Amino acid sequence: PINDMGREQVINVWMSEQGPDWRLDLRESNMDLAILTAYQLARNWRGRVNLCMAVQDAETAEKAQQFLQELISLARLTRQTEAVVLERPFFDALTSAPQADLNIFGLPHQPDLKFVQQIVQQVDTSCIFVRDSGEESALA
C-alpha cells in the first residue's frame, strides 16, 4: 500500500524490548539511525516524536518506561518527545499507539520481509525501515 506523509507532525519510533538488563547500549539494539532520522524529520516538520515499545506485563512496562525516559534525556530529544509503553502484543500495540504520520522501525540483520509487510498493513500509514551501519550514535 502507498500512503502519503499525512500532516507531517507526529513520528512514532518503534523499539524492541531491551530486557532483561535494560542497558542503554544503542549499538547493540539497532536504534540509533531510527532515533536520528526521527529527530531530524521532527525538526524539519516542527513535529514531535513518540518512542514506542510493546511489552507483555506491568513489571516490564515500568522498566520500559524508565528506559525510554532515560533515552529521551541522554539522546537530548525535545521535551515534546513522549515515551509510549503499550502493555500488549506487538501487532496489537501497532494499532493502539498514538496516530502518527510516519512510523520508523529498525530492521534486523536478516529481515523477514513478510513480517515487514504485516507491519505496514497493520499501521496503515507511512513507514520507514532502517538498519544501523554501526557508525551513527544517537547518544553522541
Domain ranges of the chain: 10-130
CATH topology of domain 10-130: Rossmann fold (3.40.50)
Give the pTM.
0.89
How far is C-alpha 114 from the chain's CA centre?
A: 19
Is 33:137 a contact under the CB 8 Å cutoff? no
Tens digits of pLDDT across the chain (140 residues): 444 455 678 999 999 888 888 877 655 567 889 999 999 999 999 999 999 999 999 999 999 999 999 999 988 998 899 999 999 999 999 999 999 999 999 988 888 999 999 999 999 899 999 998 877 778 77
Cell of 68: 525510554
- Decide: helix, strand or coil at residue 63: helix
Q: Rounded to the nearest 5°, which phi and psi values hold at 49?
A: -120, 140
Assign residue 69 a region: left if phi > 0, alpha if psi is -120 to 50, beta otherwise?
A: alpha
